[in-house]
Amino acid sequence: MPRGKVIRMKDTTMTDRSLTDENRRLRILVICTGNRARSQMAHGWLNHLGGVRVAVDSAGTNPRGVHAMAVRVMAEVGIDISGHSSDHVDRYADGDYDLVITVCDAARETCPVLPGAKRALHHGFADPDRPELDDEALVAVFRQTRDEIGDYCRKLLASFCR
């Protein structure tokens, strides 16, 4: 699969409104490097907030398993991501997505070409996976990232799912 510095999309002109026709769901792919924390939390938020209006997948350019702390902090806000898997982005390369969102700068730079993507967005979040921190500090960092991603997802869905 070809690798590029930017996600390449089909030559499609569309408005935010055209993404969400009444009888179809907004298809979203969220990508980060490890598909371990940030993309998993965004996946959970988008499913939770978007409900039947969205179909969400998440993947990584170098998947490393779902982080237990991501599962823990999402459960604190009533979102269960314990059944999520950590998948390689190549698994979704042939999918037709309305939105492909990278949530870390490294994934933005190394993401493969996704010809089925209608629109690509990037919003980098700091990596909460910091093994040098003790458990108390680590959970605080994960909660902050969770809340920042939640705010972003709320705004995103307000824009695209009117």
pLDDT digits (tens, 9 = 90+) for 88-124: 999 998 889 999 999 987 766 666 667 788 998 999 9
pLDDT digits (tens, 9 = 90+) for 58-67: 999 999 999 9
pLDDT digits (tens, 9 = 90+) for 35-92: 999 999 999 999 999 999 999 999 999 999 999 999 999 999 999 999 999 999 999 9
- Which residues are marked as active site? 32, 104, 111
Nearest-angstrom CA–CA distance, 122 and 53: 21
Q: Which residues contact 10 (CB under 8 A, 6 or more apart)?
A: 115, 116, 117, 118
pLDDT digits (tens, 9 = 90+) for 144-158: 999 999 999 999 999
DSSP state of 146: H
Q: Which residue has the higher pLDDT, 13 or 158?
A: 158
Residue 111's pLDDT is 67
Which fold would CATH assign to domain 20-160? Rossmann fold (3.40.50)
Buried b (16+ CB within 10 A) or exposed e, 32-71: bbbbbbbbbbbbbbbbbbbeeebbbbbbbbebeebbebbb
